[in-house]
Chains A and B, each alone.
Chain A
Amino acid sequence: GDSVTQMEGPVTLSEEAFLTINCTYTATGYPSLFWYVQYPGEGLQLLLKATKADDKGSNKGFEATYRKETTSFHLEKGSVQVSDSAVYFCALSRNTGRRALTFGSGTRLQVQP
């Protein structure tokens, strides 16, 4: 079945450091890929997405590129801020069949001033 694997956290960085959170997936066909973010005390919200190979999703300084050859969708940001501290979830959806998301286990990011 479909699955998403993320790097374990927590990831602890200093402000203005470069961020990478790894995500790889297993799925049949060509899924759409997503990053969701959960800030402390809040529900999840969509951060960015990509629907086909080589697409780059971007939002709020975060980027991720859909790499079909490596089945990956790594999240990057050039300079993190304390306000980026949250839990980040990678997810996929099939483009046919079940209309729901399959999530990874989440990676907690802690940014220190």
Chain B
Amino acid sequence: DGGITQSPKYLFRKEGQNVTLSCEQNLNHDAMYWYRQDPGQGLRLIYYSQIVNDFQKGDIAEGYSVSREKKESFPLTVTSAQKNPTAFYLCATSLKGQFTGELFFGEGSRLTVL
């Protein structure tokens, strides 16, 4: 099936540990995004990538890192520098070409820091 796969769905981490969230897509979309969702704050953009080997910071990039070595994959690392990492993380993709605003979302990964 074509789609976006995020893993793991649930993740628990101790303070001071880095953790990597996976996002894989087989839609052949060029652009990929990471958003963070918190109750009452909606979605906030962490990082996005328009093409392989290139990515840009979003509005809340501090404490996060990404890589885009393959078109299909855009992993997000939540580092120990992120002050409040407990949140729901959503990966999304969009088609190449003129940006239409239509994003396709995965089902999300919920990270809890103990």
Partner of B43, one of A32, A98, A99, A103: A103
Quick one: CB contact mask for B1-19 with A, threshold 8 Å, 1 for yes? 0001000000000000000
**A100 with B102, Cβ < 8 A, contacts A43-B90, A105-B42 known:** no
CA distance A4 to B43 in the complex (A): 11
Main secondary structure of the interface of B (DSSP, over half): strand
Contacts of B43 in A (CB 8 A): 44, 89, 101, 103, 106
Give the B interface residue count (CB, 8 A): 27
Q: What range describes how many residues of A lie at the interface?
A: 20 to 34
| Inter-subunit contact A106/B90 (CB<8 Å) | no
Contacts of B85 in A (CB 8 A): none
Main secondary structure of the interface of A (DSSP, over half): strand
**A44 with B103, Cβ < 8 A, contacts A100-B33, A105-B40 known:** yes
6 A-B interface contacts by CB (under 8 A): A6-B42, A45-B104, A49-B101, A99-B31, A99-B50, A103-B44
Residues of B within 8 A of A (CB): 4, 31, 33, 35, 40-45, 48, 50, 56, 58, 90, 92, 94, 99-108
Q: Which 9 A-B pairs have the closest CB atoms?
A: A43-B105, A105-B42, A99-B99, A103-B43, A44-B105, A103-B42, A93-B101, A43-B107, A106-B42
